[in-house]
Amino acid sequence: MRTAASTKMLEPGQKQKLTWTAPKQPGKVPFLCTFPGHWVRMKGEIVVRESFAADAR
């Protein structure tokens, strides 16, 4: 698995915008915080769907 995007290490109160291109195929993309020990709780999945419009029906 490769890293698709990352931010610099942020200090409390700092912000950074992160953009990336989602895969064309629907699926789940994992994300996590790489600060030591944080990955245990600071993790999740971004769900890539075919279309938001299809979900609203």
Q: Which residues bind Cu ion (CB under 5 A)?
A: 33, 35, 38, 42
CB proximity list for 24: less than 8 A, separation 6 or greater: none
Q: Please, which residue, 37 or 52, has the CB nearer to Cu ion?
A: 37
Residue 11 Cβ vs Cu ion, minimum distance, rounded to whole Å: 12
Q: Please, which residue, 29 or 33, has the CB nearer to Cu ion?
A: 33
Q: Please, which residue, 38 or 49, has the CB nearer to Cu ion?
A: 38
- DSSP-derived secondary structure letter, 48: E
Select from 29, 34, 36 the least CA-distant residue to 4: 29
